[in-house]
A = this chain, B = another copy of it.
């Protein structure tokens, strides 16, 4: 049996269970830490579940920004400096990563609060997460304002990429589960993964 909601049925749900449920139903999501620095050189770190691939040539990543207090520090810093990092979250650091979503003051660094290590390299104006196996350094490229609910799609161009040595094949395959990258359902539930199968480029049969 199926449970049916029409739009009114969804709108009539209680606010918190609705937000919790709706965040699960688009499917599994990426978990990434975005590192920034403000003009007082305080390092900010925030977990995002909405980082997506926008393009490979040139390389672009995007993420959805909701107008909330926590995420606002990240966006203010990106606007001020134009630079930020995106770092994959693994089984070893997902609890620390999740804790960055607590509402710390602007003069507190989440790196120190949750015990993750800011890493600077290439004179890049944003901190990487030293514990992360996939580290992107990005420059702000474009911001789209979604009129339907005032969210933003923030797109950055990849300036630097750090990966573990010998982590990918000649064809470009990278096994996220081998590096224990986690995925999230909804806002709170973390999962590890197991590879089922790598399929091929599909052709009509």
Contacts and interface: CB of A to CB of B under 8 A. Distances in A.
Contacts of A28: 28-30, 176, 181-183, 193
Contacts of A113: 204-205
Interface residues of A, number: 114
A55 to B, nearest CB: 4
Interface of A: 1-7, 9-11, 15-32, 50-62, 64, 86, 88-89, 91, 94-95, 98-104, 113, 122, 134-136, 141-142, 144, 146-149, 151, 153, 155, 157-168, 170-177, 181-183, 185-205
Copies held by the complex: 2
Task: Please report whether the interface of chain A is mostly helix, strand, loop or mixed according to DSSP.
Answer: mixed
A29 B3 contact: no
Given A60-B148, A148-B54, A160-B6, A174 B185 contact: yes
